[in-house]
Amino acid sequence: MSTLVVVGAQWGDEGKGKVVDAVAAEADVVARFAGGNNAGHTLVVDGRTLVTHLIPSGCMYPGTRCVLGAGMVIDPDVLLHEIETLRALGLLVHDELRVSLHAHVIFPFHRQLDALREERATQSGAQIGTTKRGIGPAYEAKAARRGIRVADLLHPERLRERLEQNLAAVAPECERLGARIEGGVQQWLAQADAWARWLAPMTCDAGALCHAAIVAGQRVLFEGAQGALLDVDHGTYPYVTSSSTIAGGVCTGIGIGPTAIDEVWGISKAYATRVGAGPFPTKLVDATGNRLRELGAEFGATTGRPRDCGWLDLPALRHAARLSGMTGLCITKLDVLAALGKVEICVAYEDGIDPGCDGLAHAVPRLQSCPGWDDPDVVPRLRLARTLEALPAVARAYLDTIAAAIEVPIALVSVGASREQTIAVRRPFDPA
């Protein structure tokens, strides 16, 4: 096996950073295929914590090639800041980063539009709760065939035409929303010229690069962003992001065929969280939810917003497993759930509602309580466990319940924030 996809199985923030970090250590290539700087991975380098929003976690490992795929939307200012921060730490100094010529570029007017729309929608209570990074407007321009690709930055005449087209489309909407568009074609061209100077040497055909790596027997990790329930086609629409977050997104977002994918690991917290608006059947709006937020430090890595917290939702997880064809399941933050001392789990929805048919919008969860978690021994034993066998019986039973319900075996369990607090059940890139 040489290719592995790692995707979120909930609404993002599943703790992908830690899992991907562990897996990236064994990869030759780490590629992102969707989203932009709406994502955020917390990395610890030499005791210093930093958050990357665009560059995949492979950047931690010198010599590992990092690829930004065609399905992404890239804010070059954010990318440059990340490159400079990582280089100052001695990382990414050997030509490790490659950017697809087909990835789309976020300009300041995309961000402005995103923020203006959210502000207006908030007045009527209809906001999505976007990250205001310009993600939606950039994907919208792509679908409208006026998007600006990395390749366009290298062709000023083509770029001017495309920018004029965008100005004509965006300026009237900004005015309707009570603002003047910031900048203009001349200013954006100058900005694009500055970006092109440092970006040009990094450009590539990401599909061809990944294909060549696969053919050469290298290990390629495809790193997902956000989660299945935020997928633009299959998530809780319209409360979703604007890209394909599920494993299928790898094929379109990188440019390889489905037969090139060997394994798909889905990541879920031991409970559930969501940030931004939209359905969340198991949300806890009580002291238990607040406690879970405190214990799990559930605040967005990108926006700092407090996340809503709730019990693990098995029907939704089963749905996510099907959407991505998961072959392994990674459960994170089991220690946080344990510290709560009280655990419930959603085993079904009343009236047999199907999450796939927009059911999450009106699902009433049937909760089952899981006794035994209040034993004071559970947390310390759990944090020290490095095998499934070493886990306290209640924790093992909980994992067994999840794996049986979604019919996917456990690949990895995280029992604490540090790299060592991991139960690696399966090795990445090993045969199943």
> Active-site residues: which are they?
13, 41
246 sits near ligand IMP (criterion: CB under 6 A): no
- In the bound state with ligand IMP, the residue whose beta carbon lies nearer, of 159 and 221, is 221
Residue 9 found at the interface with ligand IMP (CB under 6 A): no
Query: Which of 207, 249, 255, 276 forms a contact with ligand IMP (CB under 6 A)?
Result: 276
By beta-carbon proximity to ligand IMP, the closer residue of 17 and 355 is 17
Applying CB under 6 A, does 230 fall inside the site for ligand IMP? Answer: yes
Considering only the stretches 10-18, 210-218, 259-267, 347-355, report the one whose residues sit in contact with ligand IMP under the rule CB under 6 A: 10-18
Interaction between residue 315 and ligand IMP (CB under 6 A): no
Site for ligand IMP in 23-42 (CB under 6 A): 38-39
- The smaller minimum CB distance to ligand IMP, of residues 126 and 190, is found at 126
Q: Does residue number 100 form part of the binding site for ligand IMP (CB under 6 A)?
A: no
Residue recorded with tokens 């021994």: 377
Site for ligand IMP (CB under 6 A): which residue of 37, 112, 203, 226? 226
Interface residue with ligand IMP, options 72, 275, 321, 323 (CB under 6 A): 275
Near ligand IMP in 49-78, by CB under 6 A: none
Judged by CB under 6 A, the residue of 3, 10, 85, 131 near ligand IMP is 131
Which residues of this chain interact with ligand IMP, rule CB under 6 A? 11-13, 38-39, 128-131, 133, 135-136, 225-226, 230, 239, 241-242, 275-276
